[in-house]
Amino acid sequence: MAINTRHERILDLLRRRGYVTIEEVSARLRVTPQTIRRDLHDLAAQGKLRRHHGGASLPSAIVNTNYALRHVENADAKARMAEAAAELVPEGSSLFLTLGTTIEALASALVGKRDLRVVTNSTAAARILGGSPGISIQLLGGAYLPGIGGVAGSLTTELVARWRCDMLATSIGAVSSDGWLLDYHEEEVAVMRAMHAQARRTMLLADHSKFHKATVCTFLPLREIAVVVTDQPVPGSHAQAMREAGVEVLIA
């Protein structure tokens, strides 16, 4: 396979998945890992991707993967995580839900729960839960965000303060190895922070790709999180940060 063709195949995989490992690309393109390492080095030098230990991700730290693609990206992992996280939400409790496809998967896993109160800025999550008679939903107002099925902004942040919930369930854009949770858009993060301040406990759902991405808006330090639900063993440096923060890790 020609170098240019390989490069295009690698970039196409990244556009669809956000993150790829060297072993995965090597198997798909049927070339050696050493060849893929050289390809990733060349593409990184051109600014077309970001190198990580063992793989690569999309280059932008400020633009998230297309929302429609995120619905299929790691979909099986998100479903497993959602089922595991739903087990941690007791009936008769109250819950903040943030935006994102992972949280939409959790909403699907919560359908059928009894006596559950949900406060959310996700119109998508509200729609999923709307047919479940045992769940009451408070949909927060604010500025509509086209394409991602939710609202955010100063009004949304203010409205959060009217509620006090047992738990916040949230996803995230990236988890840094120095113990910070990061996301892409400040107006969404401001709502997440407000929900965290009004929740007694915070649960994070983060699939393995989140440990290999980078972005710029700080949400919380790991020590503020009670439990992390993920789909694969956490990488070494991140695992150390979680141990130091006293975070419970559940692998679905």
pLDDT higher than 90, residue 148: no
Same domain, 144 and 45: no
pLDDT at res. 71? 45
- Size of the chain, expressed as the number of residues it contains: 252
Read off the tokens for 222. 């790991």
pLDDT higher than 90, residue 60: no
Same domain, 75 and 150: yes
Q: Which amino acid is present at 39? A: D
Same domain, 45 and 85: no
Residue 62 forms part of a structural domain: no
- Please report, for the domain that includes residue 193, its CATH number: 3.40.50.1360
Host domain of residue 112: 67-251
pLDDT higher than 80, residue 94: yes
Residue 203 forms part of a structural domain: yes
pLDDT tens per residue across span 208-219: 889 888 788 999
Average pLDDT estimate for 223-246: 93
Is residue 147 classed exposed, middle or buried when 0-12, 13-18 and 19+ CB atoms within 10 A define those classes?
A: exposed
Report the DSSP pairing between strands 217-221 and 227-230. unpaired
pLDDT band at 138 (very low <50, low <70, confident <90, very high): very high
Task: Tell me the H-state helices in the chain.
Answer: 3-17, 22-29, 33-45, 67-70, 75-86, 101-110, 123-129, 154-160, 186-197, 236-245
pLDDT at res. 68? 45
Cα–Cα dist 205/202, whole Å:
10
Cβ contact 169:99 at 8 Å = no
